[in-house]
Structures are given as structure tokens and as C-alpha cells.
């Protein structure tokens, strides 16, 4: 989820609990061997054992269309010690698809196979290589063929977003169409798409046949969602595990500290408003908080309005994401 779920929000949401692992935003590979600093900029957890502060492993994700170049970059990335390497075959962005990447590859199963096979050969045998796909580009008619091409080339796990590229992010998600893929594959299949609450999680499992779920915007909107799903799995009441607004305040404060530590001042307010905008879906209090800062861009005014404590000398410190993450992790 480029532009939303970066390492800052990964850090905070994994502190909330209930998450087995994360997949980082994609790293675009377009014909060159990227320097290590590109990988560590997108996935700074690579500097700390490939895990978030909460100890949750993070897989780095590559996106591209050239098997040889992807394999070379995967080999370099593997040397940095991620929890695994994931391949993106689901991004619906037009600029990505025009260059043959993301969901555009679902029109070409043989190339999917070549990419996964090349990456699998390029990295150590013990390192997981997984993939994420959509149901198709314009229609779901080749979904199973694509899934079999990916897994047949050596992917150990497959996440399926239950919409085509043409569907974008418009509801509904067609969870039932994942069932055929799951039944045909011998590796774990994880269902994804339009899981906003406990009821969605239950319906997705029933229709897809998948026990494992990948949460995206639903977790951003309700940081307690993964914990609630786990509570239900244990036979408990899921609502009791869901975070209330008061319980979210330490997470919001920690998020703000991290934002102030690694994002330039002019962009800080926007990052906080972005998360509050998602939280409005679950928490009425977030509506009031969002309204209170909607027109503000000065980070100090935002902090004052919401009662957040700014870091020391925020406005004048240099931006150093690696050092700030190190401080947060120690």
C-alpha cells in the first residue's frame, strides 16, 4: 500500500498485536541493479533483523517485469536479511501497468512463471519467496492459470486480492472466486480484499475457504482488527479485543513521534490526517480529531490541537530515517 503503510505505520500497527508478518511497500525494479540504500530506505527493518519493533517479521516486496533484473535485485536484497521476498502481481496503478508491471502481468502467465522461477533460483533456498496477485486484469478467467504459473515456479505462498485490476478497489470483493485457486494449490493461499471488520473476516473465510487473511486498509482503520479476529478464533468475543479510542491514544502519540522523527515538517500534518481519515471509519472520535486539524499544516499547531507532544526541536532537526528508526527500536 504505497504512500500509506510505510515502515512508520507498520511499526505502530504491529505494536497493536495480532499480526503474524508484514509485507512492505513494493520496490520498483526497472532495469538496473538497485543499491542497498534503496532497499533499506523502503524497508529500514532490514537494519534490525528484518523485524518491526514488536518483533513481527517483514517481507520485502519487489515489482517489475524483467525476470533477469528482478532476480539480480532479489539476490542483493536477500543478502540484507529480509524475512522473505514477495513479488507484486497485483498493483492496479495505470503508470505501473503501462510498463508491464503489477497486475498487467496477469495477462501473461508464462512471464509470471519466468519471473518467479528466476527469483527463486537467485535467493537462498531457505528464504521464502511468495507472491500477491489479483483475480485477473480485465476478468477472472485466467486466475487459476496465473496462480498455477506462480506456484509451479516455486512460490511458497500466494496472496489473492479478490478483485481484478479493472475492479480497482470498488466493492465488493469476490472472495468466493479464491476458493477454486485454494483448492487447486498445494501451498498456503491467503485471502485479501475488503476486510474491514469481524463480519467481513468471517464471510471472507467462509466464501474463500482460506483460514489466513491479509489485512490492509481494514487494519489501518481499526488497529485492533487482527486481535479481534484472533479472539474469535479462540472462542472469545471479538468486540472485547477491538481497540477503543482511549486505547488508541498511545499508538497515535507514538505514530506522531515517529513521523516527526523522519518526515520533513511540511509533510507531517498530512501523514497524521491521512491516518485519522481512515480511523474515522471505525471511531467517531476520529471524526472530531480530523475536523480539528483538517485545515492545519503546521506540525506544532497540529500537536497542540490534538494534545500530542512534539519531539525536541522538531522543526530544526535533520531528517534521518535510519537513525530515527534505530532510536525507536532501542
**Model pLDDT for residues 243-258, shown as the tens digit of each residue:** 899 999 999 999 999 9
Tell me: do 193 and 254 sit in the same domain.
no
| 136 and 269 in a common domain | no
Residues 98 and 164 reside in one and the same domain: yes
**Position 145 in a domain:** yes
Question: Do 208 and 266 belong together in one domain?
Answer: no
- C-alpha span between 328 and 53 (Å, rounded): 8
Residue with cell 522523527: 261
117 shares a domain with 42: yes
Residue 176 lies in a domain: yes
> Which one is catalytic: 22, 69, 91, 260?
91
Instruction: Examine the fold and report which residue of 174, 195, 214 is the final residue of a domain before the chain moves on.
Output: 214
Write the DSSP symbol of residue 244. Answer: P
Chain center to CA of 44: 14
User: Residues 176-205: pLDDT tens digits?
Assistant: 999 999 999 999 999 999 999 999 999 999
Check: CB of residue 91 under 8 Å from CB of residue 26: yes
Rounded CA separation 68/73 (Å)? 9
Do 96 and 155 sit in the same domain of this protein? Answer: yes
**57 and 155 both lie in a single domain:** yes
Domain shared by 321 and 200, yes or no: no
For residue 6, being part of any structural domain is answered with no
Residue 212 is predicted with a pLDDT of 97
* Confidence band, pLDDT 50/70/90 cuts, at residue 98: confident
| CA distances from residue 12 to 84, 142, 254, 256 in whole angstroms, order as listed | 21, 37, 7, 10
Q: Tens digit of pLDDT for each residue in 293-326? A: 999 999 999 999 999 875 544 433 333 433 333 3
Q: Which residues contact 200 (CB under 8 A, 6 or more apart)?
A: 194, 218
- Domain termination residue (choose one: 214, 232, 256): 214
The domain boundary residue, chosen from 174, 191, 214: 214
The verdict on residue 157 lying in a domain is: yes
161 and 305 together in one domain: no
Mean pLDDT over 131-159 rounds to 97
At residue 28, what are phi and psi to the nearest 5 degrees? -80, 130
In a domain, 224, yes or no: no
Q: Say yes or no: 173 and 105 in one domain.
A: yes
Domains: count for the chain: 2
Identify which of 327, 269, 322, 283 has the alpha carbon closest to the alpha carbon of residue 80. 322
**Residues 63, 124: one domain?**
yes
pLDDT (0 to 100) of residue 328: 34
> Mean pLDDT in the chain?
91
- 116 in any annotated domain: yes
Mean pLDDT of 222-244: 85
Cell of 167: 475492479
149 burial type by CB count under 10 A (0-12 exposed, 13-18 middle, 19+ buried)? buried
* Range(s) of the domain holding residue 30: 20-214
CA-based nearest residue to 157, from 126, 118, 127, 131: 131
What crossing angle do the helices spanning 284-293 and 299-306 adopt, rounded to 10°? 140
The contacts found for 203-206 with CB under 8 angstroms, 24 or more apart, are 203/175, 204/162, 204/173, 204/175
213-214 vs 189-192, strand pairing mode: parallel
Residue 32 within any structural domain of the chain: yes
Residue 226 inside a domain? The answer is no
Q: Which three cell numbers mark 325? A: 528508526
The answer on 297 and 163 residing in a single domain is: no
Whether 204 is a known active-site residue: answer no
> Shortest CA distance to 107 belongs to which of 77, 71, 149, 151?
149
Is there a cis peptide before residue 209, judged by omega within 30 degrees of 0?
no
State the CATH number of the domain containing residue 89. Answer: 3.20.20.70
Tens digit of each residue's pLDDT (9 = 90 or more) over 48-85: 999 999 999 999 999 999 999 999 999 999 999 999 99
Q: Give the pLDDT of residue 327.
A: 35
Amino acid at each position: 500500500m504505497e504512500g500509506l503503510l510505510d515502515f512508520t505505520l507498520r511499526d505502530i500497527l504491529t505494536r497493536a498485536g495480532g499480526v503474524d508478518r508484514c509485507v512492505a511497500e513494493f520496490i520498483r525494479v526497472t532495469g538496473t541493479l538497485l543499491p542497498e540504500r534503496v532497499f533499506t530506505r523502503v524497508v529500514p527493518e532490514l537494519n534490525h533483523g528484518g523485524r518491526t519493533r514488536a518483533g513481527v517479521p517483514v517481507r520485502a516486496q519487489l515489482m517489475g517485469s524483467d525476470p533477469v533484473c528482478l532476480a539480480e535485485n532479489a539476490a542483493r536484497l536477500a543478502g540484507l536479511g529480509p524475512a522473505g521476498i514477495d513479488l507484486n502481481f497485483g498493483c492496479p496503478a495505470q503508470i505501473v501497468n503501462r510498463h508491464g508491471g503489477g497486475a498487467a502481468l496477469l495477462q501473461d502467465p508464462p512471464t509470471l512463471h519466468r519471473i518467479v522461477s528466476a527469483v527463486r533460483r537467485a535467493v537462498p533456498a531457505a528464504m521464502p519467496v511468495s507472491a500477491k496477485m489479483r483475480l485477473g486484469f480485465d476478468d477472472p478467467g485466467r486466475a487459476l492459470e496465473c496462480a498455477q504459473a506462480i506456484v509451479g515456479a516455486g512460490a511458497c505462498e500466494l496472496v489473492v486480492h479478490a478483485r481484478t485490476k479493472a475492479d480497482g478497489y470498488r466493492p465488493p470483493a469476490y472472495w468466493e472466486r479464491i476458493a477454486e485457486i485454494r483448492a487447486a494449490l498445494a501451498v498456503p493461499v491467503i485471502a485479501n480484499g475488503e476486510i474491514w471488520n469481524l463480519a467481513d473476516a468471517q464471510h471472507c473465510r467462509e466464501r474463500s475457504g482460506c483460514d489466513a487473511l491479509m489485512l490492509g486498509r481494514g487494519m489501518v482503520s481499526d488497529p485492533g482488527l487482527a486481535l479481534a479476529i484472533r479472539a474469535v478464533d479462540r472462542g472469545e468475543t471479538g468486540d472485547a479485543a477491538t481497540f477503543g479510542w482511549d486505547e488508541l491514544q498511545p499508538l497515535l502519540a507514538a505514530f506522531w513521534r515517529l513521523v516527526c522523527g523522519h518526515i520533513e515538517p511540511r509533510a507531517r500534518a498530512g501523514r497524521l490526517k491521512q491516518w485519522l481519515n481512515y480511523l474515522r471509519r471505525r471511531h467517531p472520535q476520529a471524526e472530531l480529531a480530523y475536523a480539528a486539524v483538517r485545515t492545519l499544516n503546521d506540525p506544532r499547531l497540529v500537536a497542540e490541537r490534538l494534545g500530542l507532544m512534539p519531539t525536541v526541536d522538531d522543526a530544526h532537526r535533520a531528517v534521518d530515517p535510519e537513525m530515527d528508526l534505530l532510536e525507536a527500536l532501542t
